Amino acid sequence: MTDNSPANQPVHSTRPGGPTQATLVQKARAKLAFKPAHTSPTYRQRKYSIRLWAVKHSRFFEWFYKKFANAFLVLHPFWNWVGYNRAEAPVTAVERCVKGLLFDCRMCGQCVLSSTGMSCPMNCPKQLRNGPCGGVRENGNCEVEPNMPCVWVQAWKGSRHMVGGDAILNVQKPVDQSLRETSSWLRVTAQSAVEREQKEAAQ
């Protein structure tokens, strides 16, 4: 008896003389490939280059961020005087511009750049915060966005330049969506100030 189920149909061609199945699949793949909205390929390519540059200089950014965080902490009395809530909007705007330019920051509000080799994990189309998926391409690019270097491959490379690079091995908590579009600079400062006060009180 002949089995005419779809699984047993020939896969090399759809009709005599027509395109092969492989050609059709290839065409469909090109059509279905993820294309980020509202941005031209040239713009994206430029952004990828800046991201790669930041990863390459991750050691410098690690050093700079420590100095910067300390400076913010020294300013704690000022933030207190202004009010952390009132400072939120202007500081968030500056943070968005600076980190958007350098790291393609998506303002998740809970920055992990210093644990991810200065490669922002929120640029992963699957938004993975703890390492790559199983689909990284042979050339180290993303499965979903073929022209984009996988953020986790870059994170590993960046972490190898950093003094505290082994922080990449720490398990990150899931993203708290309620913190989106808030300033992680201010949050870290406020938390450090509280920790410092608790330490002083305990002595």
What single-letter amino acid sits at 181? E
Q: Does 107 bind ligand SF4 (CB under 6 A)?
A: yes
Q: Which of 148, 158, 67, 156 is nearest to 118 (CA)?
A: 158
How many residues would you count in the chain?
203
Q: Does 96 bind ligand SF4 (CB under 6 A)?
A: no
Q: Does 87 bind ligand SF4 (CB under 6 A)?
A: no
**Residue appearing with tokens 């870059």:** 154
Q: Does 105 bind ligand SF4 (CB under 6 A)?
A: yes
The least CB distance from residue 92 to ligand SF4, in Å, is: 10
Q: Does 55 bind ligand SF4 (CB under 6 A)?
A: no
The least CB distance from residue 123 to ligand SF4, in Å, is: 7
User: Which residue(s) pair with 149 in the sheet?
Assistant: 141
Q: Which of 151, 71, 61 is nearest to 114 (CA)?
A: 61
Tokens standing for residue 144: 């979903």
The least CB distance from residue 90 to ligand SF4, in Å, is: 17
The residues that touch ligand SF4, with contacts defined as CB under 6 A, are 99, 103, 105-108, 111-113, 120, 122, 184
